[in-house]
Amino acid sequence: MSEKRPILITAGGTGGHVYPGLAVANALRAQGIPVVWMGTRAGLEARVVPAADIPMAWLTISGLRGKGALALLLAPVRLAVAVAQSIGIMLKHKPVVVLGMGGFVSGPGGLVAALMAKPLIIHEQNAVPGLTNKLLSRLSKRVLEGFPGTFPASAKVEATGNPVRQAIASLPRPMERMAEREAEPLHLLVIGGSLGAAALNSIVPKALFLLPQNQRPRVRHQAGTRNLDEAQQNYSKSFVTAEVTAFVEDMAEAYAWADLIICRAGALTVAEVAAAGLAAVFVPYPYAVDDHQTANALYLVENEAALLIQQKDLSPEKLAEVLSGLLKDRTRLVKMGIAARHLAKPTATDQVAAICAAYAGYAFDLGIKEQGDPV
């Protein structure tokens, strides 16, 4: 029997592109389908993909938005170099299918895949498509969405949801988690992202100070390395006890611990919050391209699974008012968690992997998983 040719995944830069791609890669490899990853040495993929024992093919390219006039002038040269590198990678690894997970890293590989008549499949994590995926959608065989309605409806568009790590997708149901700790104070998780969120680091402690002592939750706050000391001082000044850390090593454990989360609304975060079945207060990053974080959050907000506060409206008083209403009502938190879990796509990882495998001509066992995972 001849050796299987690989599926090439191209994704890089941030966790929002890399971790969903990594989930798909692991699903493919678990069923004996080889994977090669095309990315850069500057992005998150340079650390986490080799650590997962996935072969890397290196590309030299960087994003253009917000990089100034010089970057725009050099863009044609850099794109030409990246396209040439992509051709070399395709000739070396001979992938049977290319999966682009969005972001600037996937542009050259997607273009070359189309030029070389290799099936191109793209996956867009955000509710508003990025520039690269907007362009590649015209060249691709299939367009997969994390949120329904991101692209105009057509035969090749499918809302698969966003792939999330299995440890998060398999967490206990909201009612089961909260029933185990009914006698305890509620658990509040604050996640600012890899760099932390200065607004959350500043305002959350002040908001908690405004709550009566008997309403104050137990708090875990991920503040980022840069602002860790400042966040710890903010809690001390507010006389609020909190476990403040730079990073969260085990997000599945953190979601399982929490009854309520305050966080940004990146696509990966929204997908994980839904999969975990967790009530949320979203504070979208105000400078996200095309305000896509607000669009991501609205998917849960409009289905009564979360609340949204724009950063321009965020104040200690406003947040304290919102938290007071939630922390006094465990039943509402459970209902929000159940609503979030109903919106989750627990089979997203396997669906994306199965579509890639089908275009490669490989068998992929979806297993016995129901789309509507009971809550």
* pLDDT 10s digits, 215-273: 999 999 999 999 999 999 999 999 999 999 999 999 999 999 999 999 999 999 999 99
pLDDT of residue 148: 96
Contacting residues for 46 by C-beta, under 8 A, at least 6 apart:
39, 40, 56
- Domain membership of residue 49 (yes or no) is yes
Residue 126 has pLDDT above 70, yes or no: yes
Task: Assign residue 294 the CATH number of its domain.
Answer: 3.40.50.2000
CB contact at 8 A, 280 and 273? yes
Domain assignment present for 221: yes
Q: Is residue 69 part of a domain?
A: yes
* 181/160 same-domain check: no
Helix axes 267-276, 292-301, angle to 10 degrees: 20
Query: Which residue has tokens 């994590």?
Result: 125
CB atoms within 10 A of CB 52: 13
Q: In what order do the strands lie in the sheet with 120-124?
A: 56-58, 35-39, 7-10, 97-100, 120-124, 142-145, 157-159
Residue 3 binned pLDDT confidence (cut-offs 50, 70, 90): confident
Backbone angles phi, psi at 37, to 5 degrees: -115, 130
Q: Kindly state whether residues 323 and 352 are assigned to the same domain.
A: no
Q: Please state, in angstroms and rounded to a whole number, the distance separating the CA atoms of residues 100 and 105.
A: 9
Question: What pTM was estimated for this model as a whole?
Answer: 0.90
How far lies 219's CA from each of 216, 222, 241, 243, 365, in Å? 9, 10, 7, 6, 41
Instruction: Give the separation between CA 351 and CA 348, rounded to whole angstroms.
Output: 5
Residue 244 shares a structural domain with residue 267: yes
Number of domains, the chain: 2
In a domain, 101, yes or no: yes
214 and 333 inside one domain: yes
Identify whether residues 177 and 289 lie together within a single domain.
yes
Confidence band of 1 (pLDDT split at 50, 70, 90): very low
26-36 residue pLDDT tens: 999 999 999 99
In this structure, are 154 and 176 located in the same domain? no
Q: Kindly report the average pLDDT of the chain as a whole number.
A: 92
| Mean pLDDT for the stretch of residues 125-148 | 97
Contact 196, 222 (CB under 8 A): yes
275 in any annotated domain: yes
Residue 367 lies in a domain: no
**How is the beta sheet containing 243-245 ordered, strand by strand?**
243-245, 218-222, 187-191, 260-263, 279-282, 306-308
Q: Is the pLDDT of residue 330 over 70?
A: yes
Range of the domain at 225: 168-343
User: Is 329 in the same domain as 356?
Assistant: no
Q: How far apart are CA 300 and CA 295, in angstroms?
A: 10
The C-alpha atoms of residue 53 and residue 45 are separated, in whole angstroms, by 12
Tokens 């207060």 map to which residue?
A: 281
* 137 and 13 in a common domain: yes
Q: How far is CA 146 from the centre of its chain?
A: 10
275 and 297 in a single domain? The answer is yes
